[in-house]
Amino acid sequence: MKKSAPSRRWLRRSLAAPAAVAVVAALLSACGSSTRSSSPTTSGGGNGGSTKAGCPSGTAPGATATQVTAAVTVINISGGSLTNATVGVPSEQVQKADWNLVAGSINKSGGVGCRKLALQFFNVNPIDASAAQQACLNIAATQPYMVLDSGALTGVGASDCIPGHKIPLISSALTQDQLTKYYPYYMLIGDVPNDTLHNGILGLKQLGYFTSAKGFSKLGLLYHTCTPALLTAQQAALTAAGIPTSKVVTYNLGCPAGQVDTAASMQQAVLSFKNAGVTDVNEVGVNDFGMFTQVAQQQNYKPHYVLDDNAVPANNQTTGADAPNPANLNGAVDVVTGTGYGEQATPGYTPTGGTARCNALYAAAGQPTVYKQADGYGGVVCDYLSFVQTLLDHATKVGASTLASAIHSMGTVDLSYPGAPIDFSAAPAGSVYGVGYWRPVDYLASCACWHVRNSTFHPPFK
C-alpha cells in the first residue's frame, strides 16, 4: 500500500469537475443575479426539478418496477496523518447525510423514472490502491442498478471492474479511453477534455484576446507530455481559432515524475518565452502551473495569461511551490467550461438555477450553502442525483445496456455549483457525455482569487 502526502492542486482536466473528484486525483498524482444565456430548455437541479418524459419500462438487476438501487462511493481517507479533514473533504458522516438529504427530496417529488431511489454506501480509501480495487469488486458483487462515484474510484483508476460487470457507473472523472472501451456502461457528468479545450480557446477568440487590441503578439504554450492527447486537442483548438503556428511558441516540459517540475525547468521555460517575445501564455496538462508565475515574477517577466483550464480557478492554494504569484498572475483570464468556479468568491453574486435549488434544499435542513461547504460537496451530490433523475426520466427502458441511449435526449441540465449548465444534446448522438457552457473568470491579486466578470454562461461552440 502506497501513501503519500496529497497536493492541494485540483484535477487539471476536471470536466466541470466536482472538487471531491479533484482532491482524489491530486492524492494519486502526489503518491449576482445570474442570468443564463439563451439555451435549450433546461432540466434538473438536484432536488427534484427534472421534467418527466415518461416512465421507463422493464426491470433489471437492482431495478424493480418501484425502486432502483444506486451504490454510492464515500471518500474515507486514512493513512498516517492523512484524513478527509487534512485534504479538505467532508467527513464520511457528512457525505452520507448529503446523499440521503438530496435523495429524500427527489423521492418526495416522484423519484427517478417513476421509481424510488435507494442508496447503498461503500467507503473507499483512495490512497490505498489495493483497498480501492477491492471496494470496486465488492460493489460489483452486490449488483446495484448503477454506481455513483465522485472520484474515490475513478479518480485513482480503480473503477473499471464495475463497467466490466456491465453495471453503469456515473462519474465526472472519466477518460475518453474509458468511455470508449466500456461503452455504454460509463457515463460522464460533463464533457470530455477535447471539448473543454475547444470551448476555452474559441471563447478566448470570441472575447478578442488573440488580437493586437488586447496587446496580443505571440502565444506561449507550456505543456507536459504525460497525456499527449491534451496537447493534440489544444493545438487543434488553436487551429480552429485561426491562430497561425508562427504566432505560437511552444515549450515542452516533458513528463516529470509525479508531474512536478523542477525550478530549473520552469526557469528555462520562462527564459524561452521572454526571449521569443511571447506576450500571452497558455498551458495544457501542466499541473504545477503556479510555479511558472513564481519564476516569471523573479525574472521580471509579466505576460498576460490567457487560460482554458477549469482547474486553475478551482485551486485555492495560496502558499507553497504550486501557488501562483498574485502580482504575476494579476489580470489573467480563464475561460472555464461546465463549472461555476469563481462565483463562490465573487462579491454580491446571486446564484440561480441548479445552485439556487440546491442551496434551498440545504437551507431547509439547516445546512450552509454549497459555497460554504467543504469543496462544495453538497453541490456535487445535487449534480450527481440531478443527472440520475433526468436520465431515468428520459429513458424508455431501464436495461443497463440501453440506459445511455437516453443521455442525448436530456438536453441542457442546469447543474449546481461547482457544476454549471451542461448540454447533453450538443455531443454526438449516442455519446455518454455532454458539452459544457462556458464563461470567463478573472484573477485579482487583491484577493488572490478568481471573480466572475459576467454571470452569463455561453452555449458551447459547435
Task: Write out pLDDT tens, residues 89-144.
Answer: 999 999 999 999 999 999 999 999 999 999 999 999 999 999 999 999 999 999 99
The DSSP result for 239-293, as a single string, is: HHTT--GGGEEEEE----GGG---HHHHHHHHHHHHHTT--EEEEES-TTHHHHH
Give the pLDDT confidence score for residue 44 in this predicted structure.
46
Give the Cβ contact number of residue 126 at 10 Å: 30
- Measured CA distances, 376 to 78, 229, 419 (Å): 21, 29, 10
Fold agreement between 19-191+351-419 and 194-337: yes
Per the structure block, which three cell numbers stand in for 345?
468568491
> What is the phi/psi pair of residue 61, to 5°?
-50, 125
What type of residue is 217?
S
Whether the Cβ atoms of residue 142 and residue 165 lie closer than 8 Å to each other? no
CA distance 298 to 292: 10
Cis peptide, bond prior to residue 168, ω within 30 of zero = no
C-alpha to C-alpha distance for 445 and 71, rounded to whole angstroms: 43
Ramachandran sector of residue 376 (left: φ over 0; alpha: ψ -120 to 50; beta: rest)? left
For residues 219 and 305, the answer to whether their CB atoms sit within 8 Å is: no
Burial of 43: CB neighbours in 10 Å, binned 0-12, 13-18, 19+: buried
CATH of 19-191+351-419, one of 1.10.1740.10, 3.40.630.10, 3.40.50.2300, 3.30.870.10: 3.40.50.2300
DSSP 9: P
- pLDDT at position 358: 98
pLDDT at 26: 53
In the chain, the amino acid numbered 206 is Q
Cβ atoms within 10 Å of 41's Cβ, excluding its own = 7
Tell which residue, 435, 410, 418, 433, has the closest CA to residue 373: 418
Closest CA to 29 of 13, 52, 15: 13
Rounded to whole angstroms, the Cα distance separating 282 from 305 reads: 6
**Residue 214 host element (H or E):** none
Residue with cell 482532491: 23
pLDDT of residue 208: 98
175 within 8 A of 410, measured Cβ to Cβ: no
Under 8 Å between Cβ of 219 and 247: yes
* Tens digits of pLDDT across the chain (462 residues): 333 333 333 233 333 344 555 555 555 544 433 333 333 334 444 454 444 456 999 999 999 999 999 999 999 998 878 899 988 899 999 999 999 999 999 999 999 999 999 999 999 999 999 999 999 999 999 999 999 999 999 999 999 999 999 999 999 989 899 999 999 999 999 999 999 999 999 999 999 999 999 999 999 999 999 989 999 999 999 999 999 999 999 999 999 998 899 999 999 999 999 999 999 999 999 989 999 999 999 999 999 999 998 888 877 666 777 899 999 999 999 999 999 999 999 999 999 899 999 999 999 999 999 999 988 999 999 999 999 999 999 999 999 999 999 999 999 999 999 999 999 999 999 999 999 999 999 999 999 999 999 999 999 998
Tally of CA atoms within 13 A in the half-sphere of 447 that contains its CB: 13
Task: Assess contact for 134 and 158: CB atoms under 8 A.
Answer: no
The residues facing 67 across adjacent strands are 116
Q: CB neighbours of 374 closer than 8 A, spacing ≥ 6?
A: 88, 89, 90, 94
The answer to whether 47 and 102 have CB atoms below 8 angstroms apart is: yes
Which residue reads 475513478 in cell numbers? 154
Listing DSSP states for 15-83 in one string gives SS--HHHHHHHHHHHH-----PPS-SPEE--SSS-PPP----B--BTTB-SSEEEEEEEEE--EETTEE
Of 179, 195, 148, nearest to 432 by C-alpha is: 179
Check residue 48 and give its pLDDT. Answer: 42
CB count within 10 Å of CB 328 equals 24
Q: With contact defined as beta carbons under 8 Å apart, do 345 and 451 qualify?
A: yes
Question: Among positive and negative, which fits the CA dihedral 321, 449, 189, 388?
Answer: positive
- Sorted by where each begins, the domain ranges of the chain are 19-191+351-419, 194-337
Please report the pLDDT score of residue 310 as a whole number. Answer: 86
Cell 433489471 belongs to residue: 60
Per DSSP bridges, beta strands 248-252 and 219-223 are parallel
pLDDT recorded at residue 313: 80
Residue 375, pLDDT score = 83
Which CATH number does the domain 194-337 belong to among 3.30.70.20, 1.10.3720.10, 1.10.357.10, 3.40.50.2300? 3.40.50.2300
